Amino acid sequence: MSDQASTDLREEVRSRYAAAARAVLEPQPGVAASCCGSSAADSCCGTEATAAEAVGGFSEGLYRKGETDGLPEEAVLASLGCGNPIAVAELHEGERVLDLGSGGGIDVLLSARRVGPTGFAYGVDMTDDMLKLARSNAAKAGAANVEFRKGQIEDLPLPDASVDVVISNCVINLSVDKPAVLAEMFRVLVPGGRVGISDIVAEDHMSPADRAAAGSYVGCIAGALSRAEYLDGLTAAGFAGASVTFTTEAAPGLHSAIIRAVKPAA
C-alpha cells in the first residue's frame, strides 16, 4: 500500500468514527451512532440477525443486559465494537490496562471497574470527537482511574513496559500498518503481560481480494487479517501462546474473533 493510500484510508476511518461520535454528542432525529454500513457486507456488526450478538459480545460477556448499568448512556450508545475484550482479557484488581482505539470509552470504563482504584485504564484514540466523548463519559461516570490520550495505535503514546494488559475491540482491522500495531503492543506490555482482543478475522482461504470484495475497509472487512496472518504477526512481534478463536460470523468467510497472546516473562 502506498503512503498516500495509507493516509487516505486513515483519514477515511477517522472521518467515519468522528461522525459516529458526533451522532452521540449532537444527536439528530433519525441519525444513530453505528459502526455498521448500509449493508451486512459493509459492516463490522455482521448480518441483521447477528448484529446484536456481534456488538454485544460473547454469551457470558460483560455486555449482557444489566452489565453496563451505571455507565453514561452516551458510552453505551457509542459502543462500536465486535466483541467483549474485557471478558477476554480476564482483568484483575490493580492491573494497568490499555485499550487501543478506545472510541467513546465503554471498554475503558468497564476495565476501570474491573481493576479497581489500585489499577488504571488508558484509552488511545486518534479522533478528537471520540476523545471528547470519552472524556465526557469518564467525568459523568466519576471514573478517577482512567485517562484518554490522543495517538495512533501504530505509535502508542505510552512508555515501554507500562501496562499489564492490552485490549482492543474491532479496531486493529482498521489499521493500515498492522505489524507496527503488534510491535507497539509488545513494547508497552510488561514482561509477562498479555493481550485480549476482539477483532474481525478472515478464514485462511480468503485472499486480500476476497476480503476487499466482501466489504469496505472502514466497514471492518477489507482490512481484516486472516487467522494465519494474525498468528504469524503475533509470533513475529515476539508474543507467545497466541490463539485466534472465531465466534460470530460477520460476513461469509469473516468472523468476530477472540485473540489472545502473552509477552514472555524473560
215-233 residue pLDDT tens: 765 666 778 999 999 999 9
SS3 label, residue 135: helix
C-alpha cell belonging to residue 103: 472510541
C-alpha cell belonging to residue 157: 503514546
C-alpha cell belonging to residue 180: 507496527
pLDDT of residue 213: 82
Residue 242, pLDDT > 50, answer yes
C-alpha cell belonging to residue 199: 477483532
pTM, two decimal places: 0.81
Contact 251, 40 (CB under 8 A): yes
Q: What is the mean pLDDT of the segment spanning 89-112?
A: 93
Contact 228, 205 (CB under 8 A): no
Contact 259, 195 (CB under 8 A): yes
Distance of CA 148 to the CA centre of its chain: 14
Residue 196: closest CA among 165, 154, 172, 224: 165
- Report which of residues 219 and 248 the model is more confident about: 248
